[in-house]
Structure 1
Amino acid sequence: MAQTHGSKQQAQRLEQGAESLRHGAQAQSRENNVSLSTVSHADEPSQRDESSRLTVRMENTYQLGPTKPFPVATVNHILEDVLTTYLQEAQYDPEFCRQMTKTISEVIKTQVKELVIPRYKLIVIVYIGQRDDQSIVIGSRCLWNPKSDTVSSYTFKNSTFFALANVYAVYFE
């Protein structure tokens, strides 16, 4: 019994020591304006929680065609505005053109997405090349439905380079 009484006293001393450490750390953190954080394992998901979650199933719409046609004229104006704005006074430089193709593609994609055309997948491709008494042929092939899928294109030219921007709009059934 003396041993159990001694172990109880030892456990009480350990608890008191831990309590004083906690209070001391809190007082010290208040003095230094440092927050004291604790970790709770109650927020961690368990395997039981994952199996109890319901999955959301979307129903088929059976919509086989677009409700409104893709606005080709509006997208052509976006292409013209973006290419003219970004490239009007620029000169050909390979590094500059490499960066501008990425930038212009993202700007065009963002502006076309702002039109909120439902169920269309967009592909934006921008080519920039040097004008130096040479020719280039750019071709593309796509498998699509001519009733709902379309392409918008605009070509910009100045004295040192050309730029071609294409936006492919493919209806997603």
Structure 2
Amino acid sequence: MENSVKKSLIGRRGSMFDASNVFLNRPGSSVCTFAEDPSSELFTTKGQPVKFQNSYKMEPDQRFETGRVETIAKQILTDHLEDIQYNANDCKHQCKVIADALKTEVKAMGYHRHKIIVLVNIGQIKDQGVRVGSRCLWDDKRDNWAGASFANSTLWATATIYAIYHE
């Protein structure tokens, strides 16, 4: 009986956890092990923002002031587009530049608990009509928006800035 038990153990396939199995890491194997020192760069949080716990604050510290934001938006549109003639490639780049400038200026106003979303549209004036619209689901008490427009002899532009309150 002892011989039959030894024969069955010899012919038996080894476990993947068996340390004596030398074929564990053969090419094409799906077994992967990874060990890393906790002091290595993978475990440090350099350059990553610190996440804070929720404060469950339901009202913003500062209300979104549409009048101030509209004034800033009109000024930025005028500064960037006053002397420009319409060119599709240049205007595509200008949309991004203006949107970034608007977002930077509005965030500098101190709306820390608002998500700031900026949409900029630029089009050519060629005796046509244009309607720009957007829809959002939001809270009327805490969320708001501001808009501004600009036109010269060859182009028109609109900028819409949304401030959505979030914790």
Q: Is the shorter-chain TM-score for this pair beyond 0.5, marking a shared fold?
A: yes
What is the percentage of aligned positions where both structures have the same residue? 37
Question: Does 2:121 match 1:124?
Answer: no
CA distance in 1, matches of 2:37, 2:69: 49
Matched residue, 1:10: none
Describe the superposition over 1:64-89 as per-residue Cα deviations: whole angstroms up to 9, x where unpaired: 11122112111111101100001111
Which ranges in structure 2 are unaligned for 5 or more consecutive residues?
1-35
Match of 2:37 in 1: 46
User: Residue deviations 1:40-86, cap 9 Å, x none?
Assistant: xxxxx6148889x9xx8744322111122112111111101100001
Q: In the TM superposition, what are the counterparts of 1:10-21 in structure 2 within 5 Å?
A: none
* Pairing 1:100–2:94 present: yes
Change (3 A) 1:46 1:103: same
1:29 alignment counterpart: none
1:14-163 alignment, distance < 5 Å: 46-47=37-38, 58-163=52-157
Which amino acid in 1 is paired with 2:112?
Answer: P
Give the distance between the partners of 1:88 and 1:60, measured in 2 at CA.
44
CA–CA distance in structure 2, aligned partners of residues 138 and 126 of structure 1: 10
- How many corresponding residue pairs? 126
Structure 1 runs of 4+ aligned residues shifted over 6 Å read 48-51
Once the two structures are superposed, residues 77-120 of structure 1 have per-residue CA deviations (whole angstroms, 9 ceiling, x without a partner) of 11011000011111111111111001111111111111121210
Q: How big is the shift at 1:141?
A: 0.5
Distance 1:170 1:57 in 2: 20
Q: 1:57, 1:112 → 2: CA distance?
A: 23
Tell me which residue corresponds to 1:18.
none
Select the structure that is richer in helix: 1
- For structure 1, the 5+ residue unaligned runs are 1-44
Measure the CA separation in 1 of the matches of 2:81 and 2:57. 41
Query: How many Å apart are 1:165 and its aligned residue?
Result: 0.3
Normalising by structure 1, we get a TM-score of 0.67
Distance 1:48 1:130 in 2: 57
